[in-house]
Amino acid sequence: MVFSTPLFLFAYLPVVLLLYYLAPLKWRNFVLLLASLFFYFWGERIYTVIMLASTLVDYTHGMLVDRFKRAGNMKKARMAVASSMIFNLGILFFFKYWDLIASGLQSLGLSFVPVLGIHLPIGISFYTFQTMSYTVDVYRADAKVQKNLITFGTFVTLFPQLIAGPIIKYKELGEQLDQRTCTADRFAAGVLRFTVGLAKKLLLANNIGQLWDICKGSSSLSVAGAWLGVLSFSLQIYFDFSGYSDMAIGLGKMFGFEFSENFRYPYVADSITDFWRRWHISLSTWFREYLYIPLGGNRCSKAKWIRNLFLVWAATGIWHGASWNYLLWGLYYFVWLLAEKLFLGKLVNKLPGLFRRLYVIVILLVGWAIFALEDFGQLGRYLAVMFGLGGAPLFDPLAGYELRNYLAVLIVGILGSTPLAADLFRKLPEGCRTWARPVLLVLGLALCTAYLVAGTYNPFLYFRF
């Protein structure tokens, strides 16, 4: 089930909200647990068992870590943490990477590992990372052990952020699971935030994504067409994923939760380092806290620091999908981030602000081409066209035609990826903002509903991760 569907908006969500607020306070986690399991079961059926297994394993291991720590046996506590991580990484590897490695071995003539054609469970990359962080947090004393299985199950299965994040660490949500305040103001703020995300997804991401499909599928692409295509993909993935995060944060508010922000206008970044402080923040902080710092971070020799950076970005790449282009994408950013930290950052900082942002955008657009095209042959041809190699024309009539067709939505998308609209809204008098919010809310819901009724193009990019 996807948030941007009539089934979710007009059936599932109203029923769950009604049951949740009718239930006594002590039963609300149980209502959310059942609702979340139903939400996941709707799309995954038998694979719900995998999520339940992950929940039970990490609940048990959290208890073991706490017991061993209380007994002063830190060795066994560390073994319990390691056991939890092996289990979670094991199921993630099996479902996500088995077929990739098996097909790679078979291409080398090694057929002893079969390709199983395994279906990737939705959201497995998100909930395995969340449950792993729990046992680590208990071991580090960053979070108290959760002895209530229903409460812990609610944390793992919480449907607003279950299938595409943001990645919520237990230490951020533990106290809210035990006690949270549901107020009318918070609920209203949640509805507004959800509507903003829904509009991003339906009205911007879906429309801009059609331009990317056209450019990607063209057999005679020009340089201008190639850059236009990857620009459209960069906007599509931003509004698709940040829109989903907005919807998740908004839904969390409706149920009394406060989730951490996942995006902070990443396309206004003035360096690649700054971009990764703004894009998919929950994933970046997870890798920093649970991989980069435990490896030694930058408090070690330069060689080990480079190794740590390499491992983090290799892991970031392959986390996104079972295809070699994702690894290449992660290592692409490793090279740029390393260059910025060693020497390039000082040079970039001397440039005027406009040129710093143009530098970032060019690097990002090339990176999105690597990310979007899984087939290396197609990727090589596309990059060649982007840089005018192989006799590609600078411009062609198709690029001009599509630019005219999509110019309005591209302009709205580019402006919408900056804080300009939010800044202008905040400058309005308080009275204007008070009446403008409900008007914009109703208008946004009306436009989104009309799109859902009339439209058929409604992909969600991060489902495959």
DSSP string, 158-218: -GGGTTT-----HHHHHHHHH-----HHHHHHHHHHHHHHHHIIIIIIHHHHHHHHHHHH-
Distance CA 62, CA 316 (A): 26
The separation between CA 243 and the C-alpha centre of its own chain, rounded to angstroms, equals 10
Cβ(222)–Cβ(393) below 8 Å:
yes
Using a CB cutoff of 8 Å and minimum separation of 24, what contacts does 28-31 make? 29/150, 29/151, 29/154, 29/177, 30/150, 30/154
**List of residues 6+ apart from 275 with CB closer than 8 A:** 266, 269, 360, 364
Distance CA 449, CA 92 (A): 36
Q: What share of the chain is helix, strand, coil (3-state, %, to 5)?
A: 75, 0, 25
Give me the catalytic one of 61, 119, 280, 320.
320
The separation between CA 58 and the C-alpha centre of its own chain, rounded to angstroms, equals 23
**List of residues 6+ apart from 328 with CB closer than 8 A:** 317, 370
The secondary element (H helix, E strand) that includes residue 82 is helix 74-107
Q: Is 320 a catalytic residue?
A: yes
Distance CA 73, CA 56 (A): 23
Angstrom CA distances, 92 to 51, 61, 95, 210, 247, stand at: 11, 18, 6, 31, 26
The residues annotated with a catalytic role in the active site are: 320
